[in-house]
Amino acid sequence: MACLIECEILYFAQAREAAGAARESVSLPCGKTLADLESLLRDRHPALAPLLPACAFAVDEVYRPRGFVLERASRVAVIPPVSGG
């Protein structure tokens, strides 16, 4: 049986609006990266696609680069850029 991990995706600010939800669960094969997850989210939510390249990703409350390998069930936050003064 293939190894699968379950990730809870949390969307914030404009990402939440574009995804149409505050959270969702996705299953990924073990060993996939945040870049792979980003691609999956782009396919699932076309309105989110333009925003994703500017978003940061945090895995279990720690910011991670796109090359980070997801090896266990995790909570992944999709955090768009913040502006303000």
- What is the per-residue pLDDT across 6-65, written as a single tens digit (0 to 9) for each? 999 999 999 999 999 999 999 999 899 999 999 999 999 999 999 999 999 999 999 999
pTM above 0.85, yes or no: yes
DSSP 8-class letter at 44: H
At 84 the pLDDT is 61
CB under 8 Å to 20, separation ≥6 — which residues?
45, 47
Residue 58 pairs in a beta bridge with: 63, 77
Q: DSSP for 46-85?
A: TTTTTTGGG-EEEETTEEE-TT-B--S-EEEEEE------
Which CATH architecture best describes the domain 4-79? Roll (3.10)
63, 23 contact by CB (below 8 A)? no
Q: Indicate the residue type of 82.
A: V
